[in-house]
Amino acid sequence: MKQANEEVAKDEVKNEVTSLSLEQSCFNKDWILRLYQEEYIKHFICLICKQIANNPMEIECPQHASMDESLISGEHCLKLFLKDNNNSCPIQPHDNCQYSRNNVVRRQIGDLTVICIRQFEQELKTAHETEGEGETPGLIKCDFKGKLKDLNTHLTNECRLNLVNCWFESFGCNHTCFKHNLNNHLIENMKLHFDLVTRLLQSMKQEIQLKDKYIIEKDNQIKQMERNFQQELLKYRVDIETIKKDFNEKEKHILSNHDKLVKLLEEKNAKLTQNYEQLLQKSNQHKEEEKN
Ligand SMILES: [Zn+2]
Ligand SMILES: [Zn+2]
Ligand SMILES: [Zn+2]
Ligand SMILES: [Zn+2]
């Protein structure tokens, strides 16, 4: 039972290693072992993940000088380990771990002959799915066999197992297939692709019509606002005229009242002056009469 669990755990590690980016993680040992004996690759093993070291670094602390094995680790594994373990050495815990690039091993690993990693993954997958049923008919194969350092170029440029998106992806076709199958898909689905393009054009047209409608509505609203404003302005002008007229009339009224008042006062003044003069005369007459 314990053994079965271990198998599963090992399987998970393997999958994780292969699915990580080739640029960073170490290489699946089982993949390399397809073309080599265990003995041949034992000096390329990453001491952290036990797979084939990618960008090998050599650990050179003086503490391990007596160890009789190559102390190689993949660059990514080592950096991750140091980061997670407070810079403590992966061989035995101590500070100030010393390491450097090992260019010889790097070149040797780069020169290893490998099969296509996608082909390897596909074989793992189908072996899992069709256990004991033999080869699945009609399955595409990549027969690449070349140097590990040339694999990335193969994967991006010429691998038959390279999945590509349909040219009509932006129109809504979610199909992905191997590069060499794309032509078939394009020919067989011309109607579907045509319909996708037509549908997109239709929806764009509708959107444009909606926008047009919106613009016309806004235009009408602006015109209505202008009309309202003009009317308001007219009303204000009439109001101002009325107020002016009213004011003029009131002014006139006040002025005429004022004139009348002045006249009345003048008349009263004249009468008072007259009365005073008469009184003065009378008083003079009295004085004359008394003298006589
Ligand atoms: Zn590693
Ligand atoms: Zn060390
Ligand atoms: Zn390939
Ligand atoms: Zn398509």
Question: What are the pLDDT digits (tens) for 211-254?
Answer: 999 999 999 999 999 999 999 999 999 999 999 999 999 999 99
Average pLDDT over residues 255-271: 93
Q: Which ligand is nearest to the CA of 197?
A: 4
pLDDT value of position 109? 96
The overall average pLDDT reported for the chain is: 88
Task: Report how far ligand 2's centroid is from the alpha carbon of 80 (Å).
Answer: 15
Q: Which ligand is nearest to the CA of 117?
A: 3
Distance 42 CA to ligand 1 centre (A): 13
Q: Are 106 and 55 in contact (CB under 8 A)?
A: yes
Give residue 180's pLDDT band: very low, low, confident or very high (50, 70, 90): confident
Q: Mean pLDDT throughout 169-173?
A: 92
State mean pLDDT over 185-192: 94
Taking the centre of ligand 1 as the mean of its atom positions, its distance from the CA of residue 125, in whole angstroms, is 23
The span from the CA of 241 to the CA of 126, in Å, is 96
Q: What is the pLDDT of residue 161?
A: 87
CATH class held by domain 2-161: alpha beta
Q: Whose structure tokens read 């170490």?
A: 26
Q: Which residues contact 53 (CB under 8 A, 6 or more apart)?
A: 26, 27, 44, 45, 46, 72, 73, 74, 77, 105, 109
Distance (Å) from CA 69 to ligand 2 centroid: 13
**pLDDT on residue 133:** 56
- From the CA of 183, the nearest ligand is 4
Residues 6+ apart with CB under 8 A from 165: 175, 176
Q: ipTM value of the model?
A: 0.83
For the chain, give the percent of residues with pLDDT over 90. 73
CA 129, CA 225: separation in Å to the nearest integer?
72
Q: Residue 179 — very low, low, confident or very high, per pLDDT cuts 50/70/90?
A: confident
Q: How far is the CA of 131 from the centre of ligand 1 (A)?
A: 30
Domain boundaries, the chain: 2-161, 166-292
Of 71-75, 133-137, 171-175, the range with the lowest mean pLDDT is 133-137
Q: Residue 157 C-alpha to ligand 3 middle, in angstroms?
A: 9
Q: Which two tokens stand for residue 251?
A: 């002014």
Per-residue pLDDT tens digits for 104-131: 999 999 999 999 999 999 999 888 776 6
What is the reported pLDDT for 70?
Answer: 83
Distance CA 45, CA 60 (A): 16
Distance 190 CA to ligand 4 centre (A): 8
Q: How far is the CA of 47 from the centre of ligand 1 (A)?
A: 7
pLDDT band, residue 137 (cuts 50/70/90)? low
Who surrounds ion ligand 2 at CB < 5 A?
A: 61, 89, 91, 97
Q: What is the pLDDT of residue 13?
A: 41
Is the pLDDT at 94 greater than 70, yes or no? Answer: yes
Torsion, CA 186, CA 189, CA 192, CA 196, rounded to 10: -10
Distance (angstroms) between ligand 3 centre and the Cα of 121 equals 10
Q: 71, 100 in Cβ contact below 8 A?
A: no
